[in-house]
Amino acid sequence: MKDFQVGTGTYVITEKNNQKRSIQLFCLLCILILFSVIKNGLLPYLSKQVGLSGLFFPILFVLSGMIMTLLVDLICHQLLEPNKKINYFHSLNLGIIYTLILPLYTPLLFVVLGAAVVIIFEYFMRKLFGKIYLSPVLVGWIFIMGLHLLSFIPTLDYLNPLEVELGTPLGMASTISDLGNYQTIVEPYGSLLDFILGFVPGGVGTTSILLCMMLAIYLTIKKELKWRIPLVTIATVFGMTFMIGEFSHLSLWYPLFQICSGSLVFGSIFIAAYDETSPVTPIGQVLYGLFLGVLIVILRYMTPLTDGALAAMLIIPVFNSVFDYIGAIARFHFTKSVIAFIIAWFLILLFACFIGIQNMKQEKMIETRVEQIDLM
Amino acid sequence: MLSVKLHKWKKISSKTQASIYNKPAYVYIPLISQDDDNITLLVKKGDYVYKGSIIARRKGNLRIPIHSSISGTVVGFEEKYYQNGKLEKCIVIENDYKEKYQVNKGVKRNLTKYSKEEFIELLKECGVVGLGGTGFPTYVKYSSKRKINTLIINAIEAEPYITCDSVLAASKCEEILEAIDAIMEINQIPEAIIAVKKTNTELIHTINNFIGTYLRIKLVLVPDIYTLGYEKKLVQYLKHVSYQKYSMDVGIVVNNISTIYAIYQALKYQHPLTERMITFTGDALKKPQNVIVKNGVLVEEVIEHIGGYKRDKKIQLIAGGPMMGRAIPSSDLVVTSNLNCVLVLKPNTGKEVSEVCVHCGKCVEYCPTRLSPVLIKEHLNHPKILKQLEPQRCIECGLCTYLCPSRIKVRDMVQEAKQKVGGSK
Ligand code: SF4
Ligand code: SF4
């Protein structure tokens, strides 16, 4: 009689562990880093707008975030979980995503401090709740926003974030009293193609819609992306902004402009669909995308925030348990879920109409005032 | 819902010719059927038994006899490992190597000369059970009052490594087709479908060579997707109907292709089910292959017979396939009708320690029964929510554990939840 090792099955497992998944994501994010280096370093250098330091600054910018997240991860790991296996690529990826959403002229000290916050926050959530409820990357981002606000204090001589915002297309659009038109909000940056290719102001590596979409498609084929989240989020923003634009007689370019501007596409792929802070059930993911899309539109049109995408992505994951609870039960009642989804979409579009009408009224009021001033 | 291909490792056992191991000195017939040990013992120490003699009988709704697989003398009772991983009481029979049947066995009969009642009785008395691993009594499937509209023959062999069904079906194709035809005639079934994986070209070729004259039997090629091997999923795929408990409720009977051969043996020769083909495979065996083995034989003997182990230390013996099988602590495992595979592996799971769940959602996305395993895992201590998550739907296919990148034994947790809400296997 021979004895054998025991243990529960399954006795074969997929080769794809977290480490391999992180390495795969890392390789893809490197493509975005490369784009950022070309857009922010190489092209300005070739057109002699910057010198050698300007050429290398974008890579230094990203590296500073990456190295900091890695270092802090190593330290936290040694202090808190020395016996567990460490996945270096996980912290590197967080570092990359975090730096890519920042504007290039964020002071390096801020970048490094924010990167530390990203990792410390992740450990803090895990230790305290066993789960991460808010995106660590966005916590780092909000931390930097806070530092920017502090920089108003005269002793700190850093750039004012509003100045940064004004440079972006959405920032520009927010300075116009109505919704704007193609000449006022798109043409200053070239054409919509420039938006799609990513040669417009914005985060360090978030502007190329084409690249982001290609990476999303690749990740979806590799079954490594919760694709419903970016799809529904973008579709919701598109649908709503289309309705809003229709009330002001703006054509299809308007919703496209709304989608291609800001951090919406990059954020919905790499931040909103980030595994740990997004729902696990397919229907939960659809709900999450719907709410995210609606909140982005609300923030863009009804608050002083110009982009709103990252802020919405910071808030919505708080409701993940609700989305997942509904999603898990609804899986057993598929037809009912589809009907509920259609009703929800209808209501969302109605809501978009409401925003559109409000805008239209505002435009009319402005027109009347202008006419009155002219008459006077 | 997404699907996973798990076609790997099949070639290991199918490249060597199948062999027979039919000369055990003793057999150990466990007093258990499926997982039910509510059995009446019909022999005592010293009794002489023939090959095929009924030596025990399962009680309850799924009554079925347990046969001796050899002729010889009952020498006592011992505990041996059964495929559920537990020690079970077995009847020990010493072989006289005469292979003597009692009476009337082995007389050739025309397969179609049975009434439905005789057919059901025959399957019952011959102890024909599902050979795909369930061990469910086959006669029950044909006893339904409902008219059977379709007979599905499952030749998919879902689990990795296992090839016994394909090998048996390829070598006994004519007999299997004859049996299907007879079953259809006896039970007035208008249609039969043999479901084979698209990738199993050898079996497809063999069936195509013989199927020509059987106009009511269709060969349907299905995609190489792991969960299609499960009865519910297969019925859904082929007939677009779903059911709660038994496929008979929707007028469909599903039989494993090896079970059909057992039915052939019963119809033609009235032979009870006393032996079966089993895949002995895995990277820790010297010569992995399919072997025809009698019920009650110790697995250890068969492994020695086919050349033994490649390595001795740190190996795992699994009764069943790598997805749904169970690790057995000792080679004292006995062969039974529901054992389709013996897998001896260097453990490749457990090498990596479990990490925290990263909420990738793969276990949810791929679960064939639309469960949310990760949520079940998280709500193990919240009975109210757990109930709403319906863990009892789990078919224990193991996909969630297989796919988990954090190496969490998700299925075990769903099983625990299943027990908590009172679901059965
Ligand atoms: S083992 Fe159960 S919970 Fe896991 S995938 Fe299979 S059916 Fe779903
Ligand atoms: S597959 Fe594993 S890591 Fe992914 S959600 Fe399920 S339990 Fe968590």
Helix (H) or strand (E) holding B41: strand B39-41
pLDDT of amino acid A162: 37
Chain B residue nearest residue A16, CA to CA: B405
Which of A207-211, A261-265, A290-294, B12-16 is predicted least confidently? B12-16
Q: Is residue A185 very low, low, confident or very high in pLDDT (cuts 50, 70, 90)? A: confident
**Which bound ligand lies closest to the C-alpha atom of B357?**
2
Measuring CA to CA, how many Å separate B29 from each of A241, B33, B81, B88, B91? 73, 10, 11, 10, 5
- Using an 8 Å CB-CB cutoff, list chain A residues near B2: 223
Q: Which candidate, B60, B25, B66, places its Cα nearest to that of B43?
A: B66
Q: Is the dihedral of CA B72, B74, B79, B83 positive or negative?
A: positive
Q: Under a CB-based contact definition with an 8 Å cutoff, are residues B243 and B235 in contact?
A: yes
Q: For residues A20 and A5, what is the distance between their CA atoms, to the nearest angstrom?
A: 27
Do A24 and A53 belong together in one domain?
A: yes
pTM over 0.90: no
- Asked if residue A175 is part of any domain, the answer here is yes
What are the two backbone dihedrals, phi and then psi, of residue B80, each rounded to the nearest 5 degrees? -135, 165
Do A231 and A329 belong together in one domain?
A: yes
- Asked if residue A2 is part of any domain, the answer here is no
Ligand 2 centroid–CA B52 distance in Å is: 48
Max Cα-Cα span within chain B: 63
- Asked if residue A4 is part of any domain, the answer here is no
In the numeric block, the tokens 């890695």 are attached to A70
Do A175 and A161 belong together in one domain?
A: no
Q: Is residue A151 very low, low, confident or very high in pLDDT (cuts 50, 70, 90)? A: low
Query: What is the tally of structural domains in chain A?
Result: 2
Q: Which candidate, B410, B403, B359, places its Cα nearest to that of A132?
A: B359
- Asked if residue A3 is part of any domain, the answer here is no
pLDDT of amino acid A191: 86
- Using an 8 Å CB-CB cutoff, list chain B residues near A278: 359
Per-residue tokens: A336: 């009912």
Do A160 and A189 belong together in one domain?
A: no
| Strand-strand pairing, B217-222 and B191-197 | parallel
Average pLDDT over residues B97-108: 76
Average pLDDT over residues A106-126: 94
Neighbours of B384 (CB within 10 A): 7
Do A126 and A177 belong together in one domain?
A: no
- Is A133 exposed, middle or buried, given 0-12, 13-18 or 19+ CB atoms closer than 10 A? middle
- What angle in degrees, to the nearest 10, is found between the helix axes of A52-80 and A88-100? 140
Q: Is residue B377 very low, low, confident or very high in pLDDT (cuts 50, 70, 90)? A: very high
Average pLDDT over residues B382-386: 93
Q: What does pLDDT average to over chain B?
A: 91
Do A204 and A326 belong together in one domain?
A: yes
Residue B362 Cβ inside 6 Å of ligand 2? The answer reads yes
Write the pLDDT tens digit of every residue in B258-317.
999 999 999 999 999 999 999 999 989 999 999 999 999 999 999 999 999 987 778 899
Whether the per-residue pLDDT at A122 is higher than 80: the answer is: yes
Do A26 and A137 belong together in one domain?
A: yes
Average pLDDT over residues A12-18: 90
Max Cα-Cα span within chain A: 107
Helix (H) or strand (E) holding B280: strand B275-281
> Which of B380, B394, B404, B415 to mutate to test ligand 1, by most ligand atoms within 8 A of the CB atom?
B394
Residue B325 Cβ inside 6 Å of ligand 1? The answer reads no
Write the pLDDT tens digit of every residue in A240-285.
999 998 888 888 899 999 999 889 999 999 999 999 999 999 999 9
pLDDT of amino acid A225: 97
Question: Which residue's CA lies nearest to atom 4 of ligand 1?
Answer: B400
Do A240 and A136 belong together in one domain?
A: no
Q: Is residue B201 very low, low, confident or very high in pLDDT (cuts 50, 70, 90)? A: very high
pLDDT of amino acid A374: 66
Q: What is the ipTM of this complex?
A: 0.87
More confident residue, A319 or A249: A319
Helix (H) or strand (E) holding A120: helix A108-129
pLDDT of amino acid A271: 97
Q: Is residue B181 very low, low, confident or very high in pLDDT (cuts 50, 70, 90)? A: very high
Domain that holds residue A364: 171-376
Of B317, B350, B403, the CB nearest to A4: B317
Whether the per-residue pLDDT at B156 is higher than 60: the answer is: yes
**Which bound ligand lies closest to the C-alpha atom of B226?**
1
Average pLDDT over residues A27-49: 92
| Strand-strand pairing, B275-281 and B289-294 | antiparallel
- Asked if residue A20 is part of any domain, the answer here is yes
pLDDT of amino acid A197: 93
Write the pLDDT tens digit of every residue in B3-38.
676 666 878 887 788 899 988 999 999 998 877 888
> Taking CB atoms and an 8 Å limit, are A9 and B160 in contact across chains?
no
Could you give the percent of chain A with pLDDT greater than 70?
Answer: 93
Highest mean pLDDT among A26-30, B225-229, B365-369: A26-30
The distance from CA A337 to its chain's CA centroid, rounded to whole angstroms, is 27
Do A251 and A128 belong together in one domain?
A: no
Alpha carbon of A355: minimum distance to chain B alpha carbons (Å): 35
Q: Which candidate, B262, B249, B253, places its Cα nearest to that of B234?
A: B253
Q: For residues A186 and A90, what is the distance between their CA atoms, to the nearest angstrom?
A: 37
Ligand 1 centroid–CA A216 distance in Å is: 28
Alpha carbon of B334: minimum distance to chain A alpha carbons (Å): 12
Do A264 and A329 belong together in one domain?
A: yes
- Asked if residue A154 is part of any domain, the answer here is yes
Q: Under a CB-based contact definition with an 8 Å cutoff, are residues B152 and B158 in contact?
A: no
DSSP string of B356-416, one letter each residue: ------HHHHH-TT---HHHHHHTTT-HHHHHHT-GGG-----HHHHH-TT---HHHHHHH
Do A39 and A124 belong together in one domain?
A: yes
Write the pLDDT tens digit of every residue in B60-83.
778 899 999 999 999 999 999 999
pLDDT of amino acid A203: 87
Q: Is residue A158 very low, low, confident or very high in pLDDT (cuts 50, 70, 90)? A: very low
pLDDT of amino acid A165: 43
Do A191 and A160 belong together in one domain?
A: no
- Asked if residue A129 is part of any domain, the answer here is yes
pLDDT of amino acid A154: 47
pLDDT of amino acid A159: 42
What length does chain A have? Answer: 376
Residue B404 Cβ inside 6 Å of ligand 2? The answer reads yes
Last residue of a domain, one of A128, A146, A165: A165
Write the pLDDT tens digit of every residue in A45-83.
998 888 888 899 999 999 999 999 999 999 999 999 888
Q: Which candidate, A329, A324, A326, places its Cα nearest to that of A131?
A: A324
Last residue of a domain, one of A139, A165, A191: A165
Last residue of a domain, one of A131, A165, A199: A165
Q: Which candidate, A336, A300, A295, A351, places its Cα nearest to that of A318?
A: A295
Whether the per-residue pLDDT at B204 is higher than 60: the answer is: yes
Q: Is residue B351 very low, low, confident or very high in pLDDT (cuts 50, 70, 90)? A: low
Q: Is residue B352 very low, low, confident or very high in pLDDT (cuts 50, 70, 90)? A: low
pLDDT of amino acid B7: 60
Average pLDDT over residues A179-201: 84
- Residue A31 neighbours by CB under 8 Å, 6+ apart: A211, A215
Q: For residues B352 and B345, what is the distance between their CA atoms, to the nearest angstrom?
A: 16
Question: Helix or strand or coil: residue B97?
Answer: coil
Ligand 2 centroid–CA B374 distance in Å is: 6
Of B330, B331, B352, the CB nearest to A17: B352
Residue B406 Cβ inside 6 Å of ligand 2? The answer reads yes
Per-residue tokens: A365: 């009021």
Average pLDDT over residues A337-358: 85
- Asked if residue A192 is part of any domain, the answer here is yes
pLDDT of amino acid B424: 47
Neighbours of A222 (CB within 10 A): 12
pLDDT of amino acid A152: 57
